[in-house]
C-alpha cells in the first residue's frame, strides 16, 4: 500500500496557496511602507541615505511570524488528517503553544541567515532607482508630487516582486518542517518513514521527480536529491538549486507496529521497515533557543601566565561553574582553546562562558542570545558541566550513530550503483563516493584533548556569528570543487549543516587533525576574506 500521492499533493498545494496569500499581504505591506519612507526622505533631502530602512530586527520578526503562522497551519493540517483515523486522536490545540515556539525559533534561525542579504537587496533597489531617476533631466524638472507618484509606482512593483520571492522561498520550508514536527507529535521519529512527493508543476527538476519516485525512507534519514542530502523539500541545508521555487511536500507516516498504529483502521499509508537514527531536524533550533543562565563581562583573551591566574580567570568567566570534578588541567584546556581561537580571530563571547547545568546530548553549545525572541548580538558559549562523567557515554553514542548513518548511505549508494540503466559517468561518480565514505572514520573531530577540541569547535561558531563566515565559506567550498555531499569527509557531524562544517574544519585545523586539503584552503581563504586574520 502506498500514499495516494495525487490526493496528498493536491491538498498540500491548496494549503500552501492559502498560506502564501495570507503572508504575502503582510510582507508586501512591510516592503511598501519601508519603500515609502525611502521615497519621503529622498524627496525631502534629495539624497540617498537609506541605512535605517529595512531594519534587520523588523525583518527577523517577519521571518518569525511567517514560520509560526505557516508552521501552525501545516502542523494542524497534518494532525487533522491523522485524527480522522485515530479513535483516540490528538488534540492539536494542546500543542499550539509548543508548536508556535518551535516554528518561531526555527524562523529566527533561518531569518538570521537571510536578513542581511534581504535588507541589502532592498536598500540597493532604493539607491539604484533613485539614482537612475536623478540622472533623468526630465524627471528632475518635475515637482515633488509628480516625482513621488512616479517613485511610488516603481517601488510598488518592486514590493510585489520582492515580497513574493521572500514568501515563496520560505513557505515550502515552513510547511514541510511543520509537517515533520507534527508527525513526531503523534508517532516517535524512529517508528516512521517518509516519502518525498514531487509537485505537479515541478517538471523541470528531474532530481525532485527522482526523489519522488523512490521508495519511502526512514523518517530520520535524509533524501538523496541530485547529489545532496535533504531531510525534506525546502530543507535550508540543501543547495539553493534544489530549494528555490520548490513546491514538493514530505509525507511522514508510521511504520507497521508503530506505537499508535493499532488505533489506525484505514489509512492507505505504507508498510513498515527498519527504524533508524540520523540528524535531528531541530539542531539549528536548539542551538539558538537554549536558555541562558547568568551574564558575564566582555572578555579579551590574553594567555594566563600561571596556573593560579588560569584558575582565577576561569572563575571569573564561568560564574555558574561547579568545580567539582573539573581539574585545573581541564580548565586550562578550555582557557587555551578560547585564547587560541577567539584571541586569534578577534571574536568575543559577549554574554558568558558558562556550563550547561543539565546533562545534554552534546558536549557544548555556542549561540546567540534571544531578546524578545529575536537573536541579538551577545553570544554565549556553554560546555557540559558533567563533562568528565558523560564524555565516554557520548563518545559511544556518537560512534553508534556514525556507523548507522554510514551503513545507510553505503547501502543507498550501492543500490543506485546496481541499477541497470546507470551510465558510466554516474557509475564512476557513485563508486568514488562509496570509496570516500568508506575511508571516513569519525563522527566528530575529537582530537587527543577532547575538551580542548570541543571548546575550539564551539569557539569557531562564535567566529562564524561574529563575521557571518558561513556564507563566504560556502562560496569558497564551491571554488575548491567541494559539493554539499562531500562535507562528511571532514566528519559525519560536519556533514550536517554549513555551520557545523565550519566549526569542525576549524577544530580539525586547530588540533592538526588530518582532513582533505580543499576544506583547509576554503577555510583559510574565508578567514582572509572576512577580515578575521
Nearer to Zn ion, 212 or 367 (CB): 212
* Beta bridge partners of residue 366, listed in sequence order: 381
Q: Candidates 33-41, 145-153, 245-253, 421-429: pick the segment binding Zn ion (CB under 5 A).
A: 245-253
Nearer to Zn ion, 202 or 500 (CB): 202
Q: Candidates 28-36, 242-250, 363-371, 488-496: pick the segment binding Zn ion (CB under 5 A).
A: 242-250
For the bound state, the minimum distance from the C-beta of residue 71 to Zn ion, rounded and expressed in Å, comes to 19
Nearer to Zn ion, 455 or 485 (CB): 485
For the bound state, the minimum distance from the C-beta of residue 169 to Zn ion, rounded and expressed in Å, comes to 13
Q: Candidates 241-249, 358-366, 405-413, 435-443: pick the segment binding Zn ion (CB under 5 A).
A: 241-249
For the bound state, the minimum distance from the C-beta of residue 197 to Zn ion, rounded and expressed in Å, comes to 9
Residue 445 binds Zn ion (CB under 5 A)? no
Residue 133, C-beta contacts closer than 8 angstroms, at least 6 positions apart: 139, 140, 147, 150, 151
d(CA 502, CA 498): 6
d(CA 10, CA 81): 14
Nearer to Zn ion, 9 or 510 (CB): 9
- With helix as H, strand as E and coil as C, how does 277-295 read? CCCCCCHHHHHHHCCCCCC
For the bound state, the minimum distance from the C-beta of residue 140 to Zn ion, rounded and expressed in Å, comes to 47
Nearer to Zn ion, 15 or 202 (CB): 202
Nearer to Zn ion, 65 or 209 (CB): 209
Nearer to Zn ion, 202 or 464 (CB): 202
For the bound state, the minimum distance from the C-beta of residue 239 to Zn ion, rounded and expressed in Å, comes to 13
For the bound state, the minimum distance from the C-beta of residue 207 to Zn ion, rounded and expressed in Å, comes to 8
Nearer to Zn ion, 174 or 246 (CB): 246
Q: List, as one string, the DSSP characters of 36-105.
A: HHHHHHHHHHSS---TTSS-HHHHHHHHHHHHHHHHHHHHHHHHHHHHTTBTT---GGGTHHHHHHHHHH
For the bound state, the minimum distance from the C-beta of residue 250 to Zn ion, rounded and expressed in Å, comes to 11
Q: At 473, list the grid cell.
A: 565559506
The number of C-alpha atoms within 13 Å of 179 and in the hemisphere containing its C-beta is 33
Q: At 457, list the grid cell.
A: 569547535
For Zn ion (CB under 5 A), the number of binding residues is 4
Backbone φ and ψ of 439, nearest 5°: -90, 0
Residue 35, C-beta contacts closer than 8 angstroms, at least 6 positions apart: 122, 126, 155, 156, 158, 159
For the bound state, the minimum distance from the C-beta of residue 245 to Zn ion, rounded and expressed in Å, comes to 8
d(CA 223, CA 214): 9
Element (H, E) at 225: strand 223-225
Nearer to Zn ion, 25 or 245 (CB): 245
DSSP code at position 355: E
Nearer to Zn ion, 198 or 472 (CB): 198
For the bound state, the minimum distance from the C-beta of residue 212 to Zn ion, rounded and expressed in Å, comes to 8
For the bound state, the minimum distance from the C-beta of residue 149 to Zn ion, rounded and expressed in Å, comes to 41
Checking 227-232 for CB contacts under 8 A at 24+ apart, the result is 227/483, 227/484, 227/485, 228/483, 228/484, 228/485, 229/484, 229/485, 229/495, 231/180, 231/279, 231/281, 232/176, 232/177, 232/179, 232/180, 232/194, 232/196
Q: Could you say which of 126, 166, 217, 248 contacts Zn ion (CB under 5 A)?
A: 248
Q: At 388, list the grid cell.
A: 568528565
Element (H, E) at 416: helix 387-417
Q: Could you say which of 166, 171, 246, 338 contacts Zn ion (CB under 5 A)?
A: 246
Q: Candidates 17-25, 240-248, 422-430, 437-445: pick the segment binding Zn ion (CB under 5 A).
A: 240-248
By CB under 5 A, what part of segment 162-221 binds Zn ion?
202, 208
d(CA 304, CA 472): 33
For the bound state, the minimum distance from the C-beta of residue 211 to Zn ion, rounded and expressed in Å, comes to 8
**What order do you get walking across the sheet with 217-218 strand by strand?**
217-218, 192-197, 249-254
Nearer to Zn ion, 212 or 216 (CB): 212
Query: How far are the Cα atoms of 22, 32, 104, 115, 498 from residue 163, in angstroms, in the given order?
Result: 12, 10, 19, 13, 26
Binding site for Zn ion (CB under 5 A): 202, 208, 246, 248
Amino acid at each position: 500500500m502506498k500514499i495516494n500521492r495525487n490526493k496528498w499533493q493536491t491538498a498540500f498545494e491548496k494549503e500552501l496557496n492559502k498560506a502564501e496569500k495570507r503572508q504575502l499581504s503582510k510582507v508586501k505591506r512591510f516592503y511598501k511602507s519601508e519603500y515609502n519612507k525611502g521615497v519621503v526622505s529622498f524627496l525631502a533631502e534629495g539624497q540617498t541615505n537609506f541605512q535605517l530602512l529595512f531594519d534587520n530586527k523588523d525583518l527577523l520578526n517577519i521571518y518569525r511570524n511567517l514560520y509560526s503562522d505557516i508552521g501552525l497551519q501545516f502542523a494542524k493540517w497534518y494532525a487533522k488528517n491523522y485524527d480522522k483515523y485515530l479513535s483516540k486522536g490528538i488534540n492539536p490545540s494542546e500543542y499550539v503553544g509548543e508548536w508556535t515556539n518551535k516554528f518561531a525559533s526555527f524562523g529566527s534561525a533561518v531569518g538570521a541567515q537571510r536578513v542581511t542579504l534581504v535588507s541589502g537587496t532592498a536598500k540597493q533597489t532604493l539607491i539604484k532607482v533613485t539614482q537612475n531617476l536623478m540622472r533623468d533631466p526630465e524627471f528632475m524638472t518635475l515637482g515633488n508630487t509628480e516625482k513621488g507618484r512616479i517613485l511610488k509606482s516603481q517601488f510598488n512593483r518592486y514590493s510585489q516582486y520582492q515580497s513574493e520571492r521572500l514568501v515563496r522561498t520560505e513557505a515550502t520550508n515552513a510547511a514541510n518542517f511543520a509537517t515533520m514536527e507534527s508527525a513526531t507529535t503523534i508517532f516517535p521519529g524512529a517508528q516512521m518513514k517518509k516519502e518525498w512527493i514531487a509537485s505537479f508543476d515541478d517538471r523541470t527538476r528531474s532530481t525532485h521527480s527522482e526523489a519522488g519516485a523512490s521508495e519511502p525512507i526512514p523518517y530520520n534519514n535524509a533524501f538523496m536529491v541530485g547529489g545532496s542530502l535533504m531531510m525534506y523539500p525546502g530543507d535550508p541545508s540543501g543547495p539553493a538549486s534544489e530549494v528555490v521555487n520548490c513546491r514538493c511536500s514530505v509525507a511522514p507516516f508510521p511504520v507497521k507496529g508503530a506505537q499508535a498504529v493499532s488505533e489506525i483502521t484505514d489509512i492507505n499509508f505504507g508498510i513498515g521497515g527498519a527504524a533508524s537514527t540520523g540528524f535531528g531536524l531541530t539542531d539549528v533550533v536548539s542551538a539558538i533557543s537554549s536558555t541562558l543562565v547568568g551574564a558575564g563581562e566582555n572578555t579579551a583573551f590574553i594567555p594566563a601566565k600561571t596556573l593560579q591566574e588560569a584558575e582565577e580567570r576561569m572563575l571569573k568567566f564561568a560564574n555558574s561553574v561547579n568545580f567539582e570534578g573539573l581539574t585545573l588541567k581541564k580548565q586550562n584546556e578550555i582557557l587555551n582553546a578560547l585564547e587560541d581561537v577567539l584571541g586569534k580571530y578577534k571574536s568575543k563571547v559577549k554574554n558568558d562562558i558558562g556550563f550547561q547545568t543539565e546533562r545534554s546530548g552534546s558536549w557544548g553549545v555556542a549561540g546567540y542570545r534571544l531578546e524578545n525572541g529575536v537573536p541579538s548580538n551577545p553570544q554565549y558559549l556553554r560546555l557540559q558541566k558533567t563533562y568528565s562523567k558523560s564524555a565516554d557515554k557520548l563518545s559511544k553514542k556518537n560512534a553508534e550513530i556514525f556507523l548507522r548513518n554510514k551503513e545507510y548511505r553505503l547501502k543507498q549508494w550501492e543500490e543506485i550503483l546496481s541499477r541497470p540503466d546507470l551510465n558510466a559517468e554516474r557509475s564512476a561518480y557513485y563508486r568514488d563516493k562509496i570509496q570516500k565514505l568508506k575511508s571516513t572514520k569519525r563522527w566528530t573531530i575529537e582530537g587527543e584533548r577532547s575538551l580542548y577540541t570541543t571548546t575550539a569547535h564551539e569557539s569557531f561558531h562564535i567566529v562564524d556569528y561574529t563575521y557571518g563566515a558561513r556564507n563566504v565559506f560556502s562560496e569558497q567550498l564551491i571554488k575548491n570543487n567541494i559539493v554539499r555531499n562531500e562535507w562528511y569527509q571532514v566528519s559525519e557531524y560536519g556533514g550536517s549543516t554549513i555551520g557545523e562544517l565550519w566549526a569542525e574544519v576549524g577544530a580539525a585545523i586547530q588540533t592538526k587533525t588530518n582532513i582533505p586539503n580543499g576544506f583547509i584552503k576554503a577555510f583559510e581563504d574565508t578567514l582572509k576574506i572576512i577580515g578575521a586574520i
